Amino acid sequence: MGSGGAVVDAWIPGAQCLRANTDGGTLRGGAPRVVWQALGADPRLISAHSAAERLDQEGRPPHLVWNPLSGDIAQLIPAVRAACLLGGPETLDHGPGSGGPAQLPAATNQQGRLCVQIGVLAWAREPFTEGPMHGVERILSWLHSWRVPWRWPAGRPVPFARAHTVERSRALWSTGGHYGASQIPGWDAAGPGNIDIELLGMARVTPCQAISRHRKTRPAVVNRNHRVSLEKVLGPEIDADAAVASLASAPY
């Protein structure tokens, strides 16, 4: 259920559904939030489905895995349950220094009445907003249906090279909205890089032009058929002004 009692989808419409073997448990409530993370993978070489399977096998499934090049979206966990990506290794092919499970309490994954975790097949050093983002409208529309605030409390995520030097505010994290993984307190994540947050908002909808219910008054025009009819009644020497007046009041 969304705010106001509206029924919304726990599973994003149109996405591939791969139910994870485990999830992060029950969400603890609080401001809803979304976390964006680059998975350090080339979207030309791996599908959303394959990446999702790998993350599930490693016990760190996010809610969504998105390939912005193909537009494919795989979902592993419904929005009403916590995921497991936060605090673990950042990338698919992780190594030393990529973040570890001991860094962040598991409860961080449970914070918020919603804490949607989105793993993007991209590199943190090459912000994914600089390339194609096929399927992003579907993701944003789904998040909008859950009433996630369209704000980035910590601002635009910093570039990859500076990510380990920035402060990660617990106060900003608690307000809810959208975040990069590098903005989460307690996690030494460097992604998703310096993404353009202006491109991760709802598209502007062009309003439909209002249609007047009143018919426009058309000027009376004497056409040939009407003139012939008038000539039969009034005679051939009819006055043009009189003809216009007669036609204006005629029941046609």
Per-residue pLDDT tens digits of the chain, which is 252 residues long:
454 555 689 999 999 999 999 999 999 999 999 999 999 999 999 999 999 999 999 999 999 999 999 999 999 999 999 999 999 888 887 654 444 443 566 789 999 999 999 999 999 999 999 999 999 999 999 999 999 999 999 999 999 999 988 889 999 999 999 999 999 999 989 999 999 999 997 443 333 444 444 444 444 444 444 444 444 444 554 444 444 444 344 443
Is the bond preceding residue 192 a cis peptide, omega within 30 degrees?
Answer: yes
From residue 92, alpha-carbon distances to 40, 59, 89, 138, 224 in Å are: 6, 12, 8, 24, 80
At 101 the three-state DSSP class reads: helix
Q: Examine the domain organization and report whether 187 and 224 are in the same domain.
A: no
> Is residue 121 one of the residues assigned to a domain?
yes
Pair 157, 183: CB distance under 8 Å: yes
DSSP run (H or E) holding 225 = helix 224-234
Residue 83 in tokens? 């995921």
Do both 233 and 113 map to the same domain? no
Q: Measured between alpha carbons, how far is 88 from 18 in angstroms, rounded to an integer?
A: 20
Backbone angles phi, psi at 135, to 5 degrees: 90, -5
Distance (Å, rounded) from C-alpha 239 to C-alpha 161?
88
* Residue 205 counted as domain residue: no
Same domain assignment for residues 158 and 83: yes
Tell whether 187 and 66 lie within a shared domain. Answer: yes
> CA-CA-CA-CA torsion for 237, 240, 246, 252, nearest 10 degrees?
100
Mark out the alpha helices in 83-135 (DSSP H runs).
none
| 159 and 130 both lie in a single domain | yes
Do 136 and 241 lie in a common domain? no
Is the entire prediction scored with pTM above 0.85? Answer: no
| 118 in the same domain as 37 | yes
C-alpha–C-alpha distance, residues 15 and 46, integer Å: 16
Euclidean distance between CA atoms 19 and 90, whole angstroms: 21
**What are the φ and ψ backbone dihedral angles of 66, each rounded to 5 degrees?**
-125, 130
Distance CA 63, CA 4 (A): 24
Does residue 179 sit in the same domain as residue 246?
no
Give the residue among 89, 116, 120, 123 at the shortest CA–CA distance from 103.
Answer: 89
118 and 233 belong to one structural domain: no
* pLDDT tens readout for residues 170-196: 999 999 999 999 999 999 899 999 999
Other beta carbons within 10 angstroms of residue 211's beta carbon come to 5
Query: The domain that contains 142 carries what CATH number?
Result: 3.40.80
Distance, in Å, from the CA atom of 51 to the CA atom of 62, rounded to the nearest integer, reads: 11
CB atoms within 10 A of CB 17: 11
Domain boundary among 158, 174, 199: 199
The domain containing residue 221 runs over which residues? Answer: 215-252
Task: Identify whether 3 is part of a domain.
Answer: no
- The phi and psi torsions of 48 (rounded to 5 degrees) equal -60, -40
My answer on whether 31 and 152 are in the same domain is yes
Report if residue 175 sits inside a domain: yes
What's the total number of domains in the chain? Answer: 2
| The predicted structure's pLDDT at residue 104 | 66
Same domain, yes or no: 232 and 114: no
**pLDDT digits over 1-13, tens only?**
454 555 689 999 9
Q: Is residue 49 part of a domain?
A: yes
The answer to whether position 209 is within a domain reads no
* 150 and 226 assigned to the same domain: no
